[in-house]
């Protein structure tokens, strides 16, 4: 996008991405299904992994898809309108909105599904590789958090090849995802992290 004020090129995509990203689909879906407040279940997280702890796989899958779409859509829109850098700004906004929604006291999710969505939007090959890695690692090790951490890390490295212009933003998002998983990392190191399908009152 050339010749436009930076506010249009970067601020508006970031704001739109943030607003879309801040929609707490996990909370809305579980409430609509009569399952109460997802923040009172398991880890208290609003993401798909914690929704799965309600026992409703359909809602968990819907949360995963919707959380990914709220990252994918603004990136695709602004990439088609203004190019890769505004798309990267929208990507950052979407993930930050998911992690820090103002409607929930800035206490949101850990950003994995939304980050996967923005990676698909920035470059479908990068997104496919990262999603594929998550599935393989989750199947091998049965730890959702470990699969997420490793796949996002590798995706951030791969971004320098597939979308170098947006790679710095992707790396920052990867750092944020890792920071949001600090409790999971401690449990992985101590051997107390629950595997996929196992319930826990503290897992995320």
List the chain pLDDT tens, one digit each, 204 residues.
544 555 667 899 999 999 999 999 999 999 999 988 888 887 778 999 889 888 889 999 999 999 999 999 999 999 999 899 999 999 999 999 999 999 999 999 999 999 999 999 999 999 999 999 999 999 999 999 999 999 999 999 999 999 999 999 999 999 999 999 999 999 999 999 988 766 544 333
In eight-state DSSP terms, residue 9 is I
pLDDT at res. 4: 54
Tokens (6 digits) for 168:
């710095």
Q: What is the pTM of this model?
A: 0.91
Q: Please list, in sequence order, all residues whose beta carbon lies within 8 angstroms of the beta carbon of residue 52, skipping any fewer than 6 positions away.
A: 60
Q: Please list, in sequence order, all residues whose beta carbon lies within 8 angstroms of the beta carbon of residue 38, skipping any fewer than 6 positions away.
A: 26, 27, 30, 31, 44, 45, 46, 50, 51, 54
Tokens (6 digits) for 33:
């299904």
């Amino acid at each position: 996008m050339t010749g436009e004020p930076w506010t249009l090129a970067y601020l508006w995509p970031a704001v739109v991405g943030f607003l879309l990203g801040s929609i707490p689909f996990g909370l809305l879906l579980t409430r609509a299904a009569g399952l109460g407040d997802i923040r009172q279940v398991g880890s208290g997280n609003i993401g798909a992994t914690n929704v799965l702890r309600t026992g409703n796989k359909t809602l968990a899958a819907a949360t995963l898809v919707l959380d990914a779409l709220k990252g994918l859509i603004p990136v695709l829109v602004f990439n088609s309108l203004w190019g890769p850098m505004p798309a990267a700004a929208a990507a950052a906004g979407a993930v930050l909105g998911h992690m820090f929604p103002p409607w929930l006291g800035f206490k949101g999710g850990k950003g994995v599904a939304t980050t996967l969505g923005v990676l698909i939007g920035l470059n479908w090959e990068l997104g496919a590789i990262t999603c594929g890695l998550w599935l393989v690692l989750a199947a091998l090790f049965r730890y959702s958090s470990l699969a997420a951490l490793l796949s996002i890390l590798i995706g951030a490295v791969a971004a320098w090849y597939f979308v170098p212009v947006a790679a710095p933003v992707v790396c920052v998002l990867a750092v944020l995802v890792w920071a949001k998983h600090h409790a999971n990392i401690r449990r992985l190191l101590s051997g107390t992290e629950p595997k996929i399908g196992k319930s826990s009152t503290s897992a995320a």
